[in-house]
Amino acid sequence: MGAEVVIEGLTKSFGKQTIWRDVTLTLPPGEVSVLLGPSGTGKSVFLKSMIGLLKPERGSCVINGVDIVTCSEHKLYDTRKMFGVLFQDGALFGSMNLYDNVAFPLREHTKKSESEIKRIVLEKLEMTGLSGAEKKLPGEISGGMRKRAGLARALVLDPEIILVDEPDSGLDPVRTTYISQLFIDVNAQIDATFLIVTHNINLARTVPDNIGMLFRKELVMFGPREVLLTSEEPVVKQFLNGTMDGPIGMSEEKDSAQMAAERAMFEAGHHAGGVEDVSGVPAQMQPTPGLPERQGVRRRKDRVMRILHTLPAEARETIIASLTPEEQRHYGVGPARQTARINNRGDVPPRHHSGQLPTDQVAQLPGAQWQAPPNRGQGST
Ligand SMILES: Nc1ncnc2c1ncn2[C@@H]1O[C@H](COP(=O)(O)OP(=O)(O)O)[C@@H](O)[C@H]1O
Ligand SMILES: [Mg+2]
C-alpha cells in the first residue's frame, strides 16, 4: 500500500512574499488526490516542498514518521526514494535515449545488475505504452510520449507516493485522458498514493478520489471529490467553469470593486467565457478491464462513510446516492433516513486515524453554509 502523507500547518515564503500559509491536509494511502488552483498560487512550490527540494518555514510533512521539513539530509535522501515525481515536461535527459533515461534512477540509486535493470526498465516501458521506443531520444517523440517516459522513470524505484505536476500541459484533451487512464491503471497495479496538480477540469472531475484547491495563499478546501464538485463556493464554481465571472482575476484575485464592475458587465450581456454550466459529480474513471480493482477505492469508501456526517449536505447526498442498496444497508444509510441516522450518531472520527482526513481538513470554505462539528482542530478557520 502507498504511504500516508500528513501535512500540518505548512507555510512557505520567498523573502517577504508568502506563497501559502497553514496548509493542512492528509493524503490517504493509495488514494488519488488532485490539487487545483489558479496559476501562480504555489502548486509546484507545494510539490517541491513535499520532497524537500524547498524548505517551508513552518509546519510539518510527515511520511512514515519522518518529517521532511526538519529531518536530517540523510533521512531526507532515504525518504525521497519513496517518491516518484513526474515534472511538467517529463524532465528527461535530452542526450539519453528512453531506455537510459528510465534506467537512470536504478543505476544511480541501486546496485542492481544490468540484466535486472533491463527487466525493470522494459516492464515500466510496457506499463506506460512505450514498448519498442527504447532507442528514441526525447527530442524525437511527442509530448505525450515524453510524459509517459517520465512516468516510467518515476516508477522504477517502486514509489509509494507519486507526485505529478500538470500532466495535461501541452497535451490535447484526448491525450490528457489517455494519461489520466494511465494514472488510474498504475494506481490499480501498485496502489501508490498519488497527488496530481492540474488545471484540467475533465481530469479533476473524473480521476481523483480527493480534491483540494489553493486560493488566496490558503488551502480553501481539501476532501472527498464530492465536496468540491458539489460546492457552491464562487471561486470553485468559477474555476470549474473557466469563466471570468468570479473572484479569480487576470493575474491575481480581484478586489471587490473590480468584481462588482465586471459583474455589471456580465449582467449587461458580455460573455463571461465558458460554454456550459459544469456542475455535479460525474462517474469516476475505472482501471482498464483486466487490471485489478483499485484497493484505494474500497478503503476510501469506508473512510468517507466514517466522516460522512461531517460533510456538507450536498456532498453527503451525492455519496449516499452513489452506493448500491447493499452498501447503503451495510453502512446504515439511505436517502430517506440519512439525515436522522447521520446526525444522531454524534461521533466524530479521531484525528489522524490512518488514511482518514481529520474533520477540519475535509473541507474548509470561507463563508460556507455548513458547520463543522464542534471538536475541530485549531487553525482551521
Ligand atoms: N525558487 C523560487 N524563488 C522565489 N520565488 C519563487 C521560487 N519558486 C517559485 N516562486 C514563486 O512562487 C509563486 C508560486 O509559483 P508556482 O509554485 O510555480 O505556482 P503554480 O505552480 O501554482 O503555478 C510564484 O509567484 C513564483 O514566482
Ligand atoms: Mg506549477
What average pLDDT does the chain have?
A: 87
pLDDT tens-digit map of 109-127: 899 999 999 999 999 999 9
Class of the 5-226 domain? alpha beta
pLDDT tens-digit map of 341-355: 444 444 444 333 333
Torsion angle of C-alpha atoms 341, 225, 24, 296, degrees rounded to 10: 90
For the chain, give every residue range classified as CATH 3.40.50.300.
5-226
Q: What angle do CA 275, 277, 279 make, to 5 degrees?
A: 140
pLDDT tens-digit map of 265-288: 999 999 989 877 788 899 999 999
Structural contact between residues 150 and 86, judged by C-beta atoms closer than 8 angstroms: yes
Identify the nearest ligand to the CA of 16 by its number.
1
Q: What number does the ligand 1 atom closest to the CA of 38 have?
A: 22
Helix pair angle (143-155, 114-127), 10° resolution: 130
CA–centroid distance, 132 to ligand 2, in Å, is: 31
CA–centroid distance, 165 to ligand 1, in Å, is: 13
Q: What angle do CA 292, 298, 302 make, to 5 degrees?
A: 175
Give the per-residue pLDDT at 346: 44
Identify the nearest ligand to the CA of 87 by its number.
2
Question: How many whole angstroms separate alpha carbon 294 and alpha carbon 178?
Answer: 18
Element (H, E) at 214: strand 210-215
Q: What number does the ligand 1 atom closest to the CA of 39 have?
A: 23
Determine whether 346 is exposed, middle or buried from the number of CB atoms within 10 Å of its CB (0-12, 13-18, 19+): exposed
Give pTM, 2 decimals: 0.86
Q: What number does the ligand 1 atom closest to the CA of 165 have?
A: 21
Identify the nearest ligand to the CA of 37 by its number.
1
Lining residues, ligand 1, CB within 6 Å: 14, 19, 37, 39-45
Q: What number does the ligand 1 atom closest to the CA of 41 have?
A: 22
Q: What are phi and psi of 252, to 5 degrees?
A: -140, 180
User: For ligand 1, atom 15, which residue shows the shortest CA distance?
Assistant: 42
